[in-house]
Amino acid sequence: MATHALAPDASAYSRGLLYEWLTTTDHKKIGIMYVINSFIFFLIGGVLALVVRTELAQPGLQFLTDERVYNEMFTMHATLMIFLFVIPMLAGLGNYAVPLMVGAPDMAFPRINALSFWMLPLAGILLVSSFFTGGAAAAGWTSYPPLSGEGPLNSPGAGQDLWIVGLILIGTSSILGAINFLVTIFKMRAPGMTLFRMPIMVWTILVTSVLVLMATPVITSALVMLFIDRNYGGTFFDPSGGGSATLYQNVFWFYSHPAVYVMILPAMGVVSEVLPVFSRKPLFGYKAFVFATAAIGALGFSVWAHHMFTTGSVFLPFFSLLTFMIAVPTGVKMFNWVFTLFRGQLTFSTPLIFAIGFLTMFLIGGINGAFSASVPVDFALHDTYWIVAHIHYVLFGGSVFGIFAGIYYWFPKMTGRMLDEGLGKIQFVLMFVGFNLTFFPMHMLGIQGMPRRIADYAANAGWNDWNRAATIGGFVIALSILPFIWNVFVSLRNGRVAGDDPWEANTLEWATTSPPPPYNFDRLPEIRSERPLFDARHGRIGH
């Protein structure tokens, strides 16, 4: 320290810090950068959602008088939220947690890890820049051709091409990350950590990585074909040239349905770490949970066409049956979680509150999704606001609540300081109320016949009240983000010092300092179960 006093070149030091973060291959720093980068795109995507909700607050076109701009808003909202927020946010939490949880010093390929991260801001800049180069993609995040093709009424201009290139970059990042996770998990576990002693979070990242590795190349092929159709006169998806419009949908959903599990499985992993810690019990049915996760992964590849029941070109009974069947392993998990709480000793810290928020809301997202497995019922619900309600109960009520549970849970490990509990609970209450006020009415709107992706609706359609409620809820959600940002800001400086293990947790990341040293561990405890720290604290009484 004395040498710093002798050469107090502050600017050189701060440049050094920036240089350190820009060139790091430390999985912890990369994980934190994933989280920050994803959070920035969460904020941008959230603003786009508010624009959509504001336009829909009442009938009539208020301020988005160009409907194409409205289409850009919801297209980019979903694109940013899915590809630059939920997926990389969970990959970032995994990036931070997985090597620590398996007792490894880093990911298997640290420089590839840095590469997969740095592709994301690049892809994000490409996507956002399309707003300033003649209009962003406006064909929905699904970008079905022919609408996503050339043509004055379809998707002329560079926005759709930038969207394709951005998604291919993100997909490449995902594939590299998945390989890195798989090698880390299979080859770098600490002595004693057998596969069935891995934390559930690691299991969910493992299954997620398999899904990413098998599915992402498929959507890349769809995107490349779309790019060829748009720019070089291809006719893969153009019936007038012998192509098929629904071919794209099959290829797209072959990735994008598993992608839903990519977005929910790691959040389930977070919840499965948080619930046992804060109820002082092991996860109920660990092995059943692992098998259920694997079953969801496998079934996830055989249900894609349930997004296409109304196209008239789907073998309906097969996809209906498998879509119903996927409810079974999901239900197993729900009961495992509930019976982890059952007869526990619950401490209602913010991570547990968000995890319980996940349980209550993901339950609704599971139930309202089962309606669409019933093909005739889906004929009524498909492409209405019911579906919008469903995906938000899964991806917001599920993934986002799980993400915040994870952030509150691991923030002390990442920074050495605790987030404020009071602000955390204010955030939860605002977010929970705002979320339900926004998305529950969408069930009513959908069942009453309001299609998704419309810029306006008739004043006499009977949809005014629920739309107004949803818009108010949207702003309450936005409000809930402010105490979180403030919480991070003040807690980084003044938060309670966390110590190694503030939660009396179970898994290895809490066996090292907060934040951990670059090499993660000085020594590791004995690993005889999926809860090595619990065993170290309480002996083997739990077994």
Partner 1 sequence: MSSTPRKRPAPDALVAGVVVAILIALVLAVFLTGLGSTLYPPKAATSQGREIRGLYDIVFAFAIAIFIVVEGLIVWSVLRYRRRPTDVELPAQTHGNNIAEAIWTLVPTAIVLFLFVISWQTLNSVDAVSAQPDVRIHAIAGQFQWQFEYLDGNGTKVATQLAPEYSADTGEGGMAVPVGRSVQVTLDSPDVIHAFYVPRFLFKRDVVPGQTNRFEFTVDPKEAGQVFRGQCAELCGAGHRRMLFEVIALSPADYDTWLQALIAKSNATPAPPPSGTVLNVVAKDIAYDTKALDVAAGTPFAITFSNQDPSGVTHDIDIRDANGNVLANQEPINGGTSANYAYPGLPAGTYTFICSVHPIPAMTGTLTVK
Site for partner 1 in 23-42 (CB under 8 A): none
| Biggest CA-to-CA distance, the chain | 77
Tokens of 16: 């050094």
Task: Tell me how far apart the alpha carbons of residues 356 and 398 are, in angstroms, rounded to a whole number.
Answer: 10
Q: Quick check: 378 and 435 in contact, CB under 8 A?
A: no
Residue 231: HSE in the Cβ half-sphere, 13 Å Cα cutoff: 14
At its nearest, how many Å lie between partner 1 and the CB of residue 93? 24
Task: Tell me how far apart the alpha carbons of residues 385 and 449 are, in angstroms, rounded to a whole number.
Answer: 8
Q: Which residue has the tokens 């997969």?
A: 116
Tokens of 260: 């839903």
User: Which CB atom, from 308 or from 403, has the smaller least distance to partner 1?
Assistant: 308
Name which of residues 240 to 279 contact partner 1 (CB under 8 A): 240, 243-246, 279
At its nearest, how many Å lie between partner 1 and the CB of residue 184? 27
363 contacts: CB under 8 Å, gap ≥ 6:
334
Task: Tell me how far apart the alpha carbons of residues 135 and 405 are, in angstroms, rounded to a whole number.
Answer: 36
Which range in 61-69, 76-84, 163-171, 190-198 contacts partner 1 by CB under 8 A?
61-69
At its nearest, how many Å lie between partner 1 and the CB of residue 437? 14
At its nearest, how many Å lie between partner 1 and the CB of residue 218? 21
* 14 near partner 1 (CB under 8 A): no
At its nearest, how many Å lie between partner 1 and the CB of residue 7? 52
At its nearest, how many Å lie between partner 1 and the CB of residue 336? 8
Which range in 34-42, 256-264, 315-323, 421-429 contacts partner 1 by CB under 8 A?
315-323
Binding residue (CB under 8 A) for partner 1 from 448, 475, 486, 490: 448
DSSP characters for 103-157?
A: T-SS-SSHHHHHHHHHHHHHHHHHHHHGGGTT----STTTT-TTTTSSSTTS--S
Which range in 29-37, 43-51, 447-455, 473-481 contacts partner 1 by CB under 8 A?
447-455
At its nearest, how many Å lie between partner 1 and the CB of residue 123? 23
User: Which CB atom, from 285 or from 525, has the smaller least distance to partner 1?
Assistant: 285
Tokens of 253: 């959903």
Which range in 88-96, 180-188, 194-202, 237-245 contacts partner 1 by CB under 8 A?
237-245
Name which of residues 84 to 113 contact partner 1 (CB under 8 A): none
Tokens of 83: 């590809």
User: Which CB atom, from 27 or from 230, has the smaller least distance to partner 1?
Assistant: 230
Q: What is the DSSP letter of 193?
A: -
At 192 the three-state DSSP class reads coil
User: Which CB atom, from 96 or from 304, has the smaller least distance to partner 1?
Assistant: 304
Q: Quick check: 402 and 475 in contact, CB under 8 A?
A: no
Binding residue (CB under 8 A) for partner 1 from 77, 189, 417, 443: 443
Task: Tell me how far apart the alpha carbons of residues 362 and 372 are, in angstroms, rounded to a whole number.
Answer: 16
* 367 near partner 1 (CB under 8 A): yes
Q: Which residue has the tokens 């071919």?
A: 247
Number of residues that bind partner 1 (CB under 8 A): 94
Name which of residues 273 to 292 contact partner 1 (CB under 8 A): 279-282, 284-288
* 481 near partner 1 (CB under 8 A): no
Name which of residues 376 to 405 contact partner 1 (CB under 8 A): 376-377, 379-380, 382-384
Measure the CA angle with vertex 509, ends 508 and 513; round to 5°: 120
User: Which CB atom, from 478 or from 533, has the smaller least distance to partner 1?
Assistant: 533
Chain centroid to Cα 490, Å, comes to 26
At its nearest, how many Å lie between partner 1 and the CB of residue 179? 33
Residues comprising the chain, all counted: 543
* 131 near partner 1 (CB under 8 A): no
At its nearest, how many Å lie between partner 1 and the CB of residue 328? 5
Which range in 60-68, 99-107, 188-196, 394-402 contacts partner 1 by CB under 8 A?
60-68
Quick count: other Cβ atoms within 10 Å of Cβ 39?
Answer: 18
Name which of residues 187 to 226 contact partner 1 (CB under 8 A): none
* 342 near partner 1 (CB under 8 A): yes
Q: What is the DSSP letter of 530?
A: S
Chain centroid to Cα 42, Å, comes to 10
At its nearest, how many Å lie between partner 1 and the CB of residue 519? 33
Task: Tell me how far apart the alpha carbons of residues 275 and 344 are, in angstroms, rounded to a whole number.
Answer: 10
Binding residue (CB under 8 A) for partner 1 from 109, 131, 371, 486: 371
* 368 near partner 1 (CB under 8 A): yes
At its nearest, how many Å lie between partner 1 and the CB of residue 66? 8
Task: Tell me how far apart the alpha carbons of residues 230 and 156 are, in angstroms, rounded to a whole number.
Answer: 9
Name which of residues 136 to 155 contact partner 1 (CB under 8 A): 138-140, 144-147, 151-154
* 459 near partner 1 (CB under 8 A): no
Which range in 3-11, 91-99, 165-173, 356-364 contacts partner 1 by CB under 8 A?
356-364
Please confirm whether the linkage preceding 146 is cis (ω < 30° from 0). Answer: yes
> Residue 284: is it exposed, middle or buried by C-beta count within 10 angstroms (0-12/13-18/19+)?
buried
* 364 near partner 1 (CB under 8 A): yes
Binding residue (CB under 8 A) for partner 1 from 186, 231, 310, 496: 310
* 343 near partner 1 (CB under 8 A): yes
Tokens of 256: 């994008």
What does the per-residue mask of binding to partner 1 show for 317-336, with x meaning CB under 8 A?
x--xx--xx-xx--xx-xx-
Task: Tell me how far apart the alpha carbons of residues 368 and 442 are, in angstroms, rounded to a whole number.
Answer: 12
Residue 238: HSE in the Cβ half-sphere, 13 Å Cα cutoff: 16
* 461 near partner 1 (CB under 8 A): yes
Q: What is the DSSP letter of 82?
A: I
At its nearest, how many Å lie between partner 1 and the CB of residue 246? 6
* 228 near partner 1 (CB under 8 A): no
